[in-house]
Each structure stands twice: as structure tokens, then as C-alpha cells.
Amino acid sequence: MTEQKEIIPQATPQEAEKARKLYLNQDSRIGRATTAAVMTSFNKIKDVRLNLEAIRKQTIKFDEVIVVDNHSSDGTQAMIRGEFPEVHFIEMPNSNYGACETFNIGFGNATTQFVAILDDDIIMPTDWVEKMLAKFVTEPDTTGFISSRVVEPEMPDWYKNDPTVNTERYMSTFRGCATMARRDVLKAAGYYDVRFFIYGNERDLSCRVMNLGFRILQYPDVVVKHGTPFGMKKGPRSLYYHVRNLWLYLFKNVGWLAILGFVFAMVTKPLRKKKSESEVTADAVGSIGGAALIGDTKGGLWICIKATLNAICLLPYCLKHRKVCTHEDCSLPTH
């Protein structure tokens, strides 16, 4: 039986104005840090509602809340317009847009000093904005992004309790589901590369951020709940884009000898002594479980071949935009 959509009455202009005054920061922007929440959504109406409710409860209110919806079919649009009229809501004309492009539209509409990069299925603590802004005050101006610690379903104890995961440190990438960025740094780096479409786009953007001389801090004292299960998402689509985009990232940002070494390490990995789980830590958890996913996905090897061939076809584009990242924080996703 098809689930019936909720019938949600739409907010009047007067109700929208009241919501903006109630849930958005109305103080003068002069002399204080300003923040915008930027989220993309697609067919996760219940998650989006919980997310926006948490955004409303922040001890320091956002100045702007921007949601770019990829033409959802589950009533998300009516829900946001009816229940959260303070949101600057942008609906795409169809559902064929990638997460990179929809996020970029959201980034481009923000006018604040800081931008919160948020997935649609996260729930932030009420003091998320307060703590992230306070941390930026203690950091040098070269800290461009601060990334939350993220807790996810099916997250194993060996990862959750890993000392590195729970230690404040500068990273080679950021968690795209819950990070606060300086908007001028985000803009100068060029936002996400739309060629990536989805998956792996954070690591590519991070290289451009580091090439500008900025750093990315993991701040484990702030914990966000993420609805997406831990590790690489299952399915042929996920496998295809993860493999293709790994090649795009390498072609654009990594030295040729390092690429050869990386490929050799990946090919010979099954022959080497396996590390214990407690020794394996990755900045981007979406890459964990990739090898197993190839075997678990029907036609997995052929999907990897197609993804690689597509990446080779995009080699001229990658070479045109190639700039090897030599920043001290940059490291390859070897785990």
C-alpha cells in the first residue's frame, strides 16, 4: 500500500514573518559572527523535520536557514513551507541534480560569515552553533573548517572508541554531514566540484582548501547524530561513484608517483598482514568497507571497471584543474 502524504496547510506571509522573528537571529550583524545552515534534502521528510526542529532549538540562532530540495516526492516541500516558513527554501525542477550542485546552490545563497554544511538526516545538539563559534574564536585564522564528531548507526566500538577519532586534530578532509566553514574560504576554494555528483567531494574540496593555506579541524567535543549507517553505503550506485570519484580526486590532487604507490598498496593489500581493527582509522568513514562492497555487490568488479573507464574519459578535465596538494595535513585514504 502506498503511504499517503501528509496534508500540511501552508504558512501565510504573516506566519512566515513571525517564524523568522522567532527562529532566526534578529540582532544586528555588525560586530558579531553570523551563521547560515545549508542543507540539501531528498525524500527524507521525517529526518528533515527532526533536523529543522533541532536547528530551531539552538542556543545561538542561525541568521539564515537554507534548504535546497532535489524535487522530493514524499511531501518534503509542503512540510517545510507549512511548518518551517522561516527557511529559505529552494526546490530543484527535477531530481537529476547531484548533491554537489544542490549544496553549491545553497552555499551561493548564504550571506553570512560562517556556513554550516549539513546532511538532511543529522540531529545536532542544542549548543552546536554556540560551541562551534566559540572554537573558531580560539583557533588561528588559518582554520577554515571545523568538523563535528559524528555518531552513526552500526558504528562499531573499535571505531567509536578509537583514541584518534576522539582526539582534536587537523585532518585531510571533513565530515560533509556536519561541519562549519568560513564562507570566504569555502567560496575561494570554489565549493564542490559538480563533476563528482555525489560521494568523495569533501576530500577534493579539502585539497583546494589546504592549497589556499587553510586547515580543517576535527572537534570531537561536539557530537552530532547521523541517520546514515557507518561506512560505505551499499549498492551499485554507491560503488560506482566512490570508485570513479576516487580516481578523479587522485588525478586532480595527487602526485603521479604517489598515485602509483597508492594503486600498488590497494592491489597488494589482500596479500599483506591485516591490521587489527583498532589500528584502522579514516578521516572519511565513507571509504571504510569498500573492498568488501565490491564482492558483495552483484557485478561489483565490472562496476569498478566502468567507473575507472569513465574517470579516464574525464582525465582531460582533471588535468586542466590539476593542482597537487602538498599541505602537511594532506594524506591519502589508504584505510
Tell me the whole-structure pTM to 2 decimals: 0.92
Position 267 scores a pLDDT of 76
Provide the β-strand partners of residue 116: 37, 180
Instruction: Give the span between the Cα atoms of 331 and 321, in whole angstroms.
Output: 19
Position 278 scores a pLDDT of 46
Helix axis angle, 76-83 to 45-56, nearest 10°: 20
What are 86's three cell numbers? Answer: 522561516
Phi and psi (nearest 5°) for 75?
A: 90, 10
Position 333 scores a pLDDT of 81
Contacts (Cβ under 8 Å, ≥6 apart) of 180: 35, 114, 115, 116, 117, 129, 132, 133, 136, 145, 146
Please give the full DSSP string across 113-162, using - where no structure is assigned: SEEEEE-TTEE--TTHHHHHHHHHHHS-TTEEEEEEEEE-TT--HHHHT-
What are 82's three cell numbers? Answer: 507549512
All CATH 3.90.550.10 domain ranges in the chain, comma separated: 17-226
Per-position pLDDT tens, the chain of length 335: 555 666 788 889 899 999 999 999 999 999 999 999 999 999 999 999 999 999 999 999 999 999 999 999 999 999 999 999 999 999 999 999 999 999 999 999 999 999 999 999 999 999 999 999 999 999 999 999 999 999 999 999 988 888 888 999 999 999 999 999 999 999 999 999 999 999 999 999 999 999 999 999 999 999 999 999 998 888 999 999 999 999 999 999 999 999 999 888 877 766 655 555 544 555 666 666 666 778 788 888 899 999 999 999 999 999 999 999 999 999 988 65
Q: Which CATH architecture has domain 17-226?
A: Alpha-Beta Complex (3.90)
Position 42 scores a pLDDT of 96
Position 3 scores a pLDDT of 55
Residues 198 and 256 sit within 8 Å (Cβ to Cβ): no
Of 96, 103, 123, 129, the C-alpha closest to 38 is 103
Instruction: Give the span between the Cα atoms of 160 and 129, in whole angstroms.
Output: 23
Of 139, 173, 130, the C-alpha closest to 33 is 130
